[in-house]
């Protein structure tokens, strides 16, 4: 389907929603709280669902709200300030001992979003070679630190054998790496994608046992999981359609992204901007060999491996099982044929 067809479809469903509202059938609203302070490629499935009319098809209106970080997003959704949120596992686990209760019901990334990046030619090819080095992190509260600690532990290194340096993200992180202030970065996929879009290249070191665990997704508190279940099923169905478009029509997906976030269009000209944005899209969403039909679904064995590893580095206390933080029943319902709504 061409971009023109998507635009016409979106206009049609926008008109349909307006007509429905005028006769007392307004779209159901969901507030989505995300753990980033500004729009970025990570939220592409939501932008595509909005711009291509997939939410409209499901009679949904999604209000996307930004947060300074994922921990704030977790607190907001757990207190009822939003219907659902998007972030990685770590804030939910960090908050579990403080009463945050809920589950991830849809996986949005095909792999662990955190890994270590070094400059090509740095002579660092594995975690053991980070001994005695300075590692840049976005801030000292970043969840990436727990993944890094797990990687160190797996390699037989102690935490005090490296030095953590807060360098932010974007230009400040790039400057710290280029200047030699740090010899490596410990960030996440969309942060690296932005740096690569700016021209910086990396060699990456992934977690040896958790690299295939998709640890980012949509999270809902326990009460909303019951109260808003039918709307969450429709939300999931729209997002699955968006992933299908992202996989099959990345150019159209990028153009929808630019509509939602004009600041995301950067480059010397249209062709350059498109190449950079498609590269960023593929970096985040299109891991080679990823089975497309598993969009949304969590692997309970993978989640359990992740929980076991994170307990070893004190991310959380207690005895959590995969089913305590992940639930694929909403995804399963969304994968079935839609039932007529009354």
What was the pLDDT predicted at 227?
Answer: 87
Mean pLDDT for 246-255 is: 94
* Span(s) in the chain for CATH 3.40.190.10: 3-110+214-334, 114-205
Q: What is the pLDDT of residues 149-165, one digit of tens each?
A: 999 999 999 999 999 99
Mean pLDDT, residues 318-332 taken together: 91
Per-residue pLDDT, 5: 58
| Residue among 329, 339, 112, 335 at smallest CA distance from 217 | 112
Q: Please report the pLDDT score of residue 21 as a whole number.
A: 44
What percent of the chain has a predicted confidence (pLDDT) above 70? 88
Structure tokens belonging to residue 114: 């955190």
User: What local confidence, expressed as pLDDT, does residue 18 receive?
Assistant: 47
112-150 pLDDT, tens digit each: 999 999 999 998 999 999 999 999 999 998 889 999 999
Considering the domain 114-205 in this protein, what is its CATH number? 3.40.190.10
215 phi/psi in degrees, rounded to 5: -110, 25
First to last CA, the chain: 30
Which residues lie across from 296 on neighbouring strands?
107
Q: Quick check: 60 pLDDT over 90?
A: yes
pTM above 0.85, yes or no: yes
Q: Over pLDDT 90: what percentage of the chain? A: 68
Write down the CATH superfamily of domain 3-110+214-334.
Answer: Periplasmic binding protein-like II (3.40.190.10)
Quote the radius of gyration of the chain (alpha carbons, Å): 20
Name the percent of the chain in helix, strand, coil, to the closest 5.
Answer: 50, 15, 35
């Amino acid at each position: 389907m061409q971009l023109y067809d998507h635009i016409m479809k979106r206009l049609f469903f926008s008109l349909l929603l307006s007509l429905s509202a005028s006769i007392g059938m307004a779209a159901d609203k969901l507030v989505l709280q995300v753990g980033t302070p500004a729009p970025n490629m990570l939220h592409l499935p939501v932008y595509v669902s909005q711009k291509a009319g997939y939410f409209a098809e499901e009679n949904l209106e999604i209000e996307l709200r930004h947060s300074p970080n994922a921990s704030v997003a977790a607190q907001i959704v757990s207190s009822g300030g939003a219907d659902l949120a998007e972030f990685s596992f770590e804030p939910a686990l960090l908050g579990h001992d403080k009463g945050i209760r809920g589950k991830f019901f849809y996986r949005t990334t095909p792999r662990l979003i955190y890994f270590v990046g070094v400059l090509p030619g740095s002579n660092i090819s594995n975690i053991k070679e980070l001994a005695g080095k300075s590692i840049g992190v976005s801030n000292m509260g970043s969840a990436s630190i727990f993944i890094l600690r797990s990687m160190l532990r797996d390699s037989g290194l102690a935490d005090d054998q490296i030095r953590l340096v807060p360098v932010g993200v974007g230009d400040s992180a790039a400057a710290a790496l280029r200047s030699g202030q740090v010899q490596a970065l410990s960030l996440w996929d969309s942060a690296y994608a932005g740096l690569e879009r700016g021209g910086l290249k990396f060699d990456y070191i992934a977690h040896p046992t958790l690299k295939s665990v998709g640890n980012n997704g949509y999270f809902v508190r326990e009460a909303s999981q019951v109260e808003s279940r039918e709307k969450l099923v429709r939300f999931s169905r729209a997002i699955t359609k968006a992933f299908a478009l992202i996989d099959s029509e990345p150019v159209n997906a990028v153009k929808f992204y630019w509509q939602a976030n004009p600041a995301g269009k950067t480059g010397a000209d249209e062709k350059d901007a498109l190449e950079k944005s498609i590269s960023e899209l593929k970096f985040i969403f299109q891991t080679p060999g990823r089975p497309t039909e598993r969009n949304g679904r969590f692997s309970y064995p993978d989640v359990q491996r992740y929980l076991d590893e994170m307990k070893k580095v004190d991310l959380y206390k207690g005895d959590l099982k995969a089913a305590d933080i992940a639930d694929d029943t909403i995804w399963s319902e969304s994968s079935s044929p839609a039932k007529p709504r009354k």
